[in-house]
Structure 1
Amino acid sequence: MSSATRQSNAAARERLEALTDSTSVDTSALAADLLAVTAVLDREIGLRRTLTDPATAGQRKADLVTALFSGKISAIAVDLVSGMVRSRWSAPRDLVDSVEQQAAYAEIIGADKAGALDEVEDELFRFGRVVAGSTELRAALTDNAASNAAKAALVQRLLGGKAKPATLQLVTALVTQPRGRSLEGGLEEYSRLAAGRRGRVVALVTTAVPLSDSQKERLGASLARLVGRPVHLNIDVDPSVLGGVRVQIGDEIIEGTIANRLDGARQGLAG
């Protein structure tokens, strides 16, 4: 992400935070409006080029947003997108990506206000693990030949009444508007957004057996001291690691499993 896009994305995030500070704002409805804008910008190449053209005055671009979307989406969504097109973007796609990200973040803000953000983080992780373990399910959710209505209905059958509304909406948005992302990649992105709302980082922890609550607390505290920020643990139980713990935070991996030690020993013997 370029410096210009990074700054513009951060400004959009701050504006979204300010706009949703009022308890009267329906964050889920706002998210739906922003996804509708995402779909239009994704489809209309000329429009997104115009809205990111540095030679066009910001107010003119904002006026175009107002003319196109007023009466079709909420005033708060128009306000947010109008502000975004006044900013500088390194590439037209960056604006589309950011509008979509603000839609996801609006859902996350709503979950946080409802006291359900931890559950949403866990549900996104567990759903990702379910998808990773079922080739058939993943194929059904990513089938380009299937209609969006059919994929949304499948998500509803899987998560409706079982997961938080924000989780349901986020997964539905991902399978109906993947925009070139993998399902797993999109779920990981949402997890990072959710963790970022609390100023946390996400650690994927792989163990041979489930950890007790006290073990999770100790591990979380140790990792927080290591990275200097609070850590949200996503626990994946995998008997093949035999014992020990494997931790991944971003691109960094802390490997302490017995299986890895055995592999190292085998390689040493083979050498």
Structure 2
Amino acid sequence: MHGSSRAAVAAGQQALDALVSGAAGASGSAALAEDLFGIGAALDSSVSLRRALTDPTRDAGAKGELVRRLLTGKAGAQAIDLIVGLVSHRWSSERDLTDTIENFAVQALVSGAEAEQRADQIEDELFRFERIVAGNRELRDSVGDRRADSAARAAMVDTLLTGKAQPETVRLARQAVLAPRGRRFDRVVDDYLGIIATRRSQLSATVTTAVDLDATQRERLVAALTRIYDKQVHLNVVIDPTVVGGIRVEIGDEVLDGTIARKLEGARRHFGS
């Protein structure tokens, strides 16, 4: 994302933060998120509209009037005001605008849960569901088959998660199926998890281990990683017996691998076997 888009995002982020801080709990934030998801879908489906709203030669006031004309009666005033603010800025690309609207929708949805101390649970549930889908070929093919009706696939997600996960988790999993925007399901979920972690000013660490970590081990690992990275860390734990022992930690592009399997592989390479 280039300079002009970054400036637009920064201004929009301030406006979003003000809106969600004044929202009437999780329901108010969820309503804003629904509006933003819908607006993003409308923009994704219309090349001409995206171009009109990101045209640097077009007057900001005219773009704002276009937004209000199109959205009044179809979205809430808060969402409309937020979009008017976004299109008043210069954007480096059309995609930057639609990516930002998706990002803000995810943030809005999670912000209500964050205020109710449920954000950790949403992160855990969303990550676990993505791993379940990734580990089950039939389920992975069903969820990711873009030739199949998206509403039917979203209904399948509802069946799998409703009553077993937080409402925000269900909604994000549905959205990943309904509007992948050219990405695989796992990539969409990873992007959502990144948005949530960034909003919460923390890092997400994927921890692969042969056996699950108990509460004490998790606390110690979080404390150690927080000291290393000088930022709060959220753990997403993957159980994989093939690692043999120890743990592998992935944070962004960095990998800290202390597993026996890794050491054995290193020894095999060293001795050329």
After TM superposition, the score normalised by the length of structure 2 is: 0.96
Q: Which residue of 1 aligns with 2:138?
A: 136
Question: How far does the alpha carbon of each residue in 1:134-176 deviate from its partner, in whole angstroms, 9 at most, with x for none?
Answer: 1111111121222222012101101011110110111111100
State the SS of the aligned residue for 1:205: strand
Q: Which residue of 1 aligns with 2:11?
A: 11
Q: 1:242 aligns with which of 235, 241, 244?
A: 244
State the SS of the aligned residue for 1:20: helix
Shift of 1:79: 0.5
Alignment of 1:27-38 (within 5 A): 27-38=29-40
Matched residues in 2 for 1:86 and 1:44: separation?
19
Q: Contact 2:23–2:29 at 8 Å: present in 1 too?
A: no
The alignment status of 1:154 with 2:156, answered yes or no, reads: yes
Matched residues in 1 for 2:210 and 2:141: separation?
28
| Number of residue pairs matched by the alignment | 271
Q: Which residue of 2 aligns with 1:85?
A: 87
4+ runs deviating over 3 angstroms: none
Counterpart residue type for residue 81 of structure 2: D
Shift of 1:201: 0.3
Q: Which residue of 2 aligns with 1:255?
A: 257
Q: Contact 1:204–1:248 at 8 Å: present in 2 too?
A: yes
Matched residues in 1 for 2:184 and 2:147: separation?
16
Alignment of 1:178-189 (within 5 A): 178-189=180-191
Q: Contact 1:110–1:166 at 8 Å: present in 2 too?
A: no
Contiguous gaps of at least 5 residues in structure 1: none
Shift of 1:3: 2.1
Matched residues in 1 for 2:36 and 2:149: separation?
21
Shift of 1:219: 0.8
Matched residues in 2 for 1:262 and 1:34: separation?
50
Percent identity reads 45
Q: 1:207 aligns with which of 203, 206, 209?
A: 209
State the SS of the aligned residue for 1:186: helix
Matched residues in 2 for 1:55 and 1:194: separation?
34
Matched residues in 2 for 1:198 and 1:46: separation?
35
After TM superposition, the score normalised by the length of structure 1 is: 0.97
Matched residues in 2 for 1:143 and 1:119: separation?
28
Alignment of 1:1-150 (within 5 A): 1-24=1-24, 26-150=28-152
